[in-house]
């Protein structure tokens, strides 16, 4: 029985759903290369390819890419350019991600590059997947590659089941990049005993030649490239070598330089015309720069435990994945995330009701306590009677301007508070020079929306002190005193703490920089001049992508009980006074207990991303879809994505008049239907296959 493994990326419909049991486990490899190890690194992979791509003469696409890496190298000779690229993988990857308007590919690459202790079969898989992943990287969602060359889905004449992006029109589109394995020559090597450590379980040995071997082998070569432009991915030498061709495994020691390529994987660049990358199409800048993707999640655990990817005994997580802190913290987060999900589920409705009740009660009390509160786009102030909140619309844009003002008047026994604007401090992001003003606006908007949408609570600062006692009256606190109004300030505090308190201590040391913005802290602070901290240059997507799924905290939840964490500390250092307690709150257990998550309609761009991912991955791999397209959108679970797809299909089928909500472009809906049809059919086929196989067993 032959399972075709067609995940050569770059092609619209990529991987026929392989039954989960048959799917090969994947392993994450280091995002950053450790100086002292010679593991094949995703960076190398990417940088090598990118370097190659830049070798050609100047053209807009390459220049664009290069300028995202090192402007100094623009216009320089190709050698220099390539070097720049290779020397700056950290810059390159985010840039490519950004160019692709998505950020989910790097982890794919990372996850699939071969690592030191992989046996041949694993390496084959890894290469295969790495090719696929990189192909994805350079393929943008609109069907064009990163350089603006457009391509479309076509059937590969050499393989009916395989789909490639091919050049549509050489006159209008530039090169197409295709990856393929030279498996014909390497068929044997796949079966070769490749064990590195000798400790792999028997089942991982290639000579057992299981289904997975076949899967790997069954990929047809795709040697369409012109020789000059084709190059190969290097492999971890100690894992794969020339000897592999002959079925002999040979350890070559330390990793060779990149020009030393192996044969297993070949990158073919097919040039449609001289100016391969010359056709620079308008780019999307959905995502701002973001730090390197993090890997490390539950999957790591699983993979570590996997029989195929057993890590050497002494390897710790950090050793394995080379990303030490990040891995760990991410792991925590993810775990927490799921923990939360589960806990949400575990509680019966009754409790939820209880919760809801208390929420309302306290909200009311809170109102009566004359607290100013804040919700996205609106600022509620309060008349003393507490009966009817007065809502002042904060005009959108100016709300986020850097001005901070406050009116404070006293009339009779009432205190009137007016917040003219909230300042959103420490919202760092980068955006390419080539980005348009429009995209800048969008970027800011997304970030701000994300911040506000994440759920905020208000803190009150008076004379530099955080007033935590919600029950104190204004008179008691002195806020009533007009003369002191300068001392009154409000803070917006995110509600996105996640880790349970017990994990706090560990968390603190493992918070990766990018997470510092997870809880963007916004404040309007009159009395205290904000002290801007040294913030790592964070990007907006961090913020956008942050976990905002936390529904607003119940008002009664006292921040006093909440430990803060380091990310908050860094993110909101303007809280000089009592920073710990004021900035970040642990999500209360109560919140965990069960409140319906806030509804968050999918934006068109999200739908686009979803469609894109499903087109690629199919409808039965929601977790992968999630990781691919929504890895950073913590509030979108794979179940959400699945549900969204369900509704999308439904939406696509009903008449436009019956549709509600933000209209989804018909084009997208068409793609939904197409993909749905395709994958349904695919699934049917798969099942048929399985059935026949099962039958054959008897």
Question: Can you give the binding site for DNA, defined by CB under 7 A?
Answer: 20, 298-299, 335, 338-339, 341-342, 344-345, 349, 352, 594, 596-600, 619-624, 635, 638-640, 642-643, 646-647
Beta bridge partners of 491: 459, 523
Select 495 or 571, whichever has its Cβ closest to DNA: 495
Beta bridge partners of 177: 269
Residue 556 near residue 516 (C-beta atoms within 8 A) = no
Backbone angles phi, psi at 420, to 5 degrees: -75, -40
* Min dist. Cβ of residue 131 to DNA (A): 22
* Min dist. Cβ of residue 645 to DNA (A): 10
Select 187 or 600, whichever has its Cβ closest to DNA: 600
- Report the alpha-carbon distance of residue 511 to residue 504 in Å, rounded: 10
Select 300 or 461, whichever has its Cβ closest to DNA: 300
Select 17 or 579, whichever has its Cβ closest to DNA: 17
Q: Give, for 466, the enclosing helix (H) or strand (E).
A: strand 465-467
> Nearest to residue 135, comparing CAs of 127, 185, 58, 227?
127
> Nearest to residue 662, comparing CAs of 599, 569, 592?
599
- Report the alpha-carbon distance of residue 580 to residue 573 in Å, rounded: 9
Distances from the Cα of 627 to the Cα of 108, 151, 468, 470, angstroms: 9, 25, 39, 41
* Min dist. Cβ of residue 626 to DNA (A): 7
- Report the alpha-carbon distance of residue 562 to residue 247 in Å, rounded: 60
In 265-323, which residue ranges form alpha helices assigned H by DSSP? 298-305, 317-321
The sign one gets for the Cα dihedral 501, 295, 538, 87 is positive
Select 411 or 599, whichever has its Cβ closest to DNA: 599
> Nearest to residue 281, comparing CAs of 59, 429, 47?
59
The 3-state secondary structure of 367-418 reads: HHCCCCEEECCEEEEECCCCCCEEEEECCHHHHCCCCCEEEEEEECCEEEEE
In 138-265, which residue ranges form alpha helices assigned H by DSSP? 183-191, 211-217
The burial of 136, by beta-carbon neighbours within 10 Å (0-12 exposed, 13-18 middle, 19 or more buried), is given as buried
* Tokens describing residue 674: 């197409």
Select 221 or 377, whichever has its Cβ closest to DNA: 377
* Min dist. Cβ of residue 73 to DNA (A): 40
Residue 585 near residue 497 (C-beta atoms within 8 A) = yes
* Min dist. Cβ of residue 332 to DNA (A): 12
Select 298 or 368, whichever has its Cβ closest to DNA: 298
Select 646 or 653, whichever has its Cβ closest to DNA: 646
- Report the alpha-carbon distance of residue 318 to residue 439 in Å, rounded: 38
- Report the alpha-carbon distance of residue 550 to residue 76 in Å, rounded: 49
* Min dist. Cβ of residue 687 to DNA (A): 10
In 262-323, which residue ranges form alpha helices assigned H by DSSP? 298-305, 317-321
Select 453 or 555, whichever has its Cβ closest to DNA: 453
Beta bridge partners of 407: 418
* Min dist. Cβ of residue 376 to DNA (A): 15
Select 480 or 638, whichever has its Cβ closest to DNA: 638
* Min dist. Cβ of residue 640 to DNA (A): 5
Select 34 or 301, whichever has its Cβ closest to DNA: 301
Distances from the Cα of 237 to the Cα of 50, 183, 462, angstroms: 21, 18, 64
* Min dist. Cβ of residue 595 to DNA (A): 7
* Min dist. Cβ of residue 646 to DNA (A): 7
* Min dist. Cβ of residue 698 to DNA (A): 20
Q: Report the length, in residues, of the chain.
A: 698
Count Cα atoms within 13 angstroms, Cβ side, for 77: 2
- Report the alpha-carbon distance of residue 381 to residue 370 in Å, rounded: 8
DSSP strand pairing (378-382 vs 373-375): antiparallel
Select 520 or 594, whichever has its Cβ closest to DNA: 594
Select 142 or 606, whichever has its Cβ closest to DNA: 606
Select 92 or 668, whichever has its Cβ closest to DNA: 668
């Amino acid at each position: 029985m032959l399972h075709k493994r067609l995940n050569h990326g770059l092609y619209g419909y990529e991987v026929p759903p392989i039954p989960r049991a048959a799917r090969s486990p994947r392993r994450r490899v280091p995002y950053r290369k450790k100086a002292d190890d010679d593991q094949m690194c995703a960076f190398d992979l990417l940088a090598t390819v990118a370097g190659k791509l830049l070798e050609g003469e100047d053209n807009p696409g390459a220049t664009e890419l290069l300028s995202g890496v090192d402007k100094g190298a623009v216009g320089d000779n190709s050698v220099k350019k390539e070097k720049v690229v290779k020397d700056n993988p950290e810059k390159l990857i985010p840039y490519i991600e950004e160019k692709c308007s998505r950020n989910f590919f790097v982890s794919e690459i990372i996850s699939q590059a071969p690592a030191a202790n992989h046996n041949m079969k694993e390496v084959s898989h890894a290469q295969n997947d790495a090719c696929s992943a990189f192909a994805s990287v350079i393929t943008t969602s609109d069907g064009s590659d990163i350089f603006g060359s457009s391509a479309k889905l076509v059937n590969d004449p050499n393989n009916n089941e395989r789909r490639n992006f091919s050049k549509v029109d050489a006159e209008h589109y530039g090169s197409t990049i295709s990856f393929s394995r030279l498996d014909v020559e390497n068929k044997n090597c796949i079966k070769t005993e490749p064990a590195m450590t000798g400790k792999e379980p028997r089942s991982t040995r290639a000579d057992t030649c299981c289904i997975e071997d076949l899967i790997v082998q069954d990929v047809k070569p795709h040697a369409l490239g012109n020789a000059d432009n084709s190059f190969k991915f290097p492999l971890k030498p100690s894992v794969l070598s020339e000897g592999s061709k002959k079925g002999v495994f040979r350890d070559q020691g330390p990793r060779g330089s990149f020009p030393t390529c192996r044969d297993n994987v070949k990158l073919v660049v097919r040039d449609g015309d001289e100016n391969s990358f010359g056709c620079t199409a308008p780019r999307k800048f959905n995502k701002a720069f973001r730090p390197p993707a993090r890997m490390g999640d539950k999957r790591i655990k699983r993979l570590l435990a996997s029989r195929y990817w057993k890590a050497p005994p002494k390897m710790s997580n950090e050793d394995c994945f080379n990303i030490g802190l990040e891995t760990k913290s991410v792991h925590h987060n993810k775990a927490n995330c799921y923990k939360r999900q589960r806990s949400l589920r575990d509680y019966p409705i009754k409790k939820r009701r209880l919760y809801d009740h208390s929420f309302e009660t306290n909200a009311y009390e809170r109102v009566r306590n004359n607290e100013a509160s804040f919700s996205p786009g609106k600022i509620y102030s309060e008349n003393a009677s507490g009966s009817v909140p007065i809502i002042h619309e904060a005009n959108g844009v100016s709300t986020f301007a850097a001005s901070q003002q406050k009116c404070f008047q006293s009339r009779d026994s009432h205190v009137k508070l007016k917040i003219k604007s909230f300042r959103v401090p420490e919202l760092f992001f980068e955006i390419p020079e080539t980005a348009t003003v429009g995209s800048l606006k969008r970027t800011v908007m997304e970030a701000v929306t994300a911040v506000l949408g994440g759920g905020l609570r208000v803190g009150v600062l008076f004379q530099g002190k955080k007033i935590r006692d919600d029950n104190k009256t204004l008179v008691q606190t002195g806020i009533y005193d007009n003369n002191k109004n300068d001392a009154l300030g409000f803070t917006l505090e995110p509600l996105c703490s996640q880790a349970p308190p017990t994990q706090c201590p560990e968390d603190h040391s493992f918070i990766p920089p990018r997470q510092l913005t997870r809880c963007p802290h916004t404040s309007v602070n009159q009395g205290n001049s904000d002290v801007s901290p040294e913030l790592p240059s964070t990007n907006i997507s961090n913020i956008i992508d942050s976990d905002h799924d936390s529904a607003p905290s119940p008002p009664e939840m006292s921040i006093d009980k909440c430990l803060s964490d380091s990310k908050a500390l860094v993110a909101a250092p303007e809280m000089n006074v009592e920073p710990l307690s004021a900035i970040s709150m642990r999500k209360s257990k109560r919140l965990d207990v069960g409140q319906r998550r806030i509804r968050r309609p999918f934006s068109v761009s999200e739908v686009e991303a979803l469609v894109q991912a499903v087109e690629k991955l199919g409808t039965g791999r929601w977790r992968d879809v999630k990781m691919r397209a929504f890895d950073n959108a913590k509030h979108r679970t794979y179940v959400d994505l699945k549900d969204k797809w369900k509704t999308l299909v439904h939406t696509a089928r009903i008449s436009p008049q019956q549709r509600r909500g933000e209209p989804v472009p018909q084009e997208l809906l068409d793609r939904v239907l197409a993909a749905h049809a395709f994958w349904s059919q695919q699934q049917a086929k798969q099942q048929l296959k399985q059935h026949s196989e099962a039958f054959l067993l008897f």
